[in-house]
């Protein structure tokens, strides 16, 4: 079956760095997306990895290891507005995104 | 990123009535549009996938006669919740994709059925 595993909730301090891990199992693989979702709002696109390695985009970086079925999202210089849920979504062989419950990130001053 | 709009953003209707939600891709042609439902503190649940000009593909457990989807053009898809009941109250989100690229989400529609 298809499965995604992320921590349910994480807490970090403003200005610090946090890494949100994701392991996945899918039927085929066509890349992995990270989305940010604030409470009561729709998800917004953060990053896309299809090859192994690290993709850096400003304060956010995303890493992928296809052989391990593993990805992480790294957030640097945390700001209060980064408090949100972060959704790891691999794309299967049918180009469908597989969604888990996401990780709720709480930023404290 | 690409822009997807959804209308209305919030709707309250009486039990037994029907509600139509529109999803538009504003600056690109969406070959595929997706409709999701999300209950509080739960993950996104894919309801159906629609390709322009063809019938929508519904996920298991989603009643196609209750949730009518029309994808009449490359920039517009509509979801009609027919004979709505209180258990249909939820956050409905559409997303649009061009080819096999990332999905861009609309802002969502919060439906409350009284």
Task: Mark which residues 50-89 of B lie under 8 Å from A by CB.
Answer: none
Q: From CA A94, how far away is CA A1, in angstroms rounded?
A: 14
Q: pLDDT tens digits, residue range A16-72?
A: 999 999 999 999 999 999 999 999 899 998 999 999 999 998 999 999 999 999 999
A97 contacts in chain B (CB < 8 Å): 46, 103
B106 contacts in chain A (CB < 8 Å): 42
Q: What is the structure's pLDDT at A7?
A: 96
Per the CB < 8 Å rule, is A99 touching B44?
yes
Q: What is the structure's pLDDT at B1?
A: 63
Q: pLDDT tens digits, residue range B28-67?
A: 888 899 999 998 878 889 999 998 878 899 999 999 999 9
Q: From CA A43, how far away is CA B96, in angstroms rounded?
A: 12
Q: From CA B70, how far away is CA B78, in angstroms rounded?
A: 5
- What residues are paired with A22 via a beta bridge? A71
Residue range B77-106: mean pLDDT, rounded? 91
The SS3 of residue A70 is strand
Note whether B76 and B69 are within 8 A (CB). no
Residue range B98-104: mean pLDDT, rounded? 79
């Amino acid at each position: 079956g298809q499965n995604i595993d992320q921590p349910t909730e994480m807490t970090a301090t403003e200005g610090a760095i946090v890494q949100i891990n994701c392991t996945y199992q899918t039927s085929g693989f066509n890349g992995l997306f990270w989305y940010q979702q604030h409470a009561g709002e729709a998800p917004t696109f953060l990053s896309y990895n299809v090859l192994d390695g690290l993709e850096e985009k400003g304060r956010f970086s995303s890493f992928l290891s296809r052989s391990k079925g593993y990805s992480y999202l790294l957030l640097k210089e945390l700001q209060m507005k980064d408090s949100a849920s972060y959704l790891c979504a691999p794309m299967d062989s049918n180009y469908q995104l597989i969604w888990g419950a996401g990780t709720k990130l709480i930023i404290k001053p | 990123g690409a822009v997807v709009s959804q209308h209305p953003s919030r709707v309250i209707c009486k039990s037994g009535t029907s509600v139509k939600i529109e999803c538009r891709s504003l600056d690109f042609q969406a070959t595929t549009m997706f409709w999701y439902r999300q209950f509080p503190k739960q993950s996104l649940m894919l309801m159906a996938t629609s390709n322009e000009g063809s019938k929508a593909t519904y996920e298991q457990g989603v009643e196609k006669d209750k949730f009518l989807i029309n994808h009449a053009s490359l920039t517009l898809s509509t979801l009609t919740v027919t004979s709505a009941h209180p258990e249909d109250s939820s956050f409905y989100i559409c997303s649009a994709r061009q080819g096999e690229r990332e999905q861009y989400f609309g802002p969502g529609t919060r439906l409350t059925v009284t």
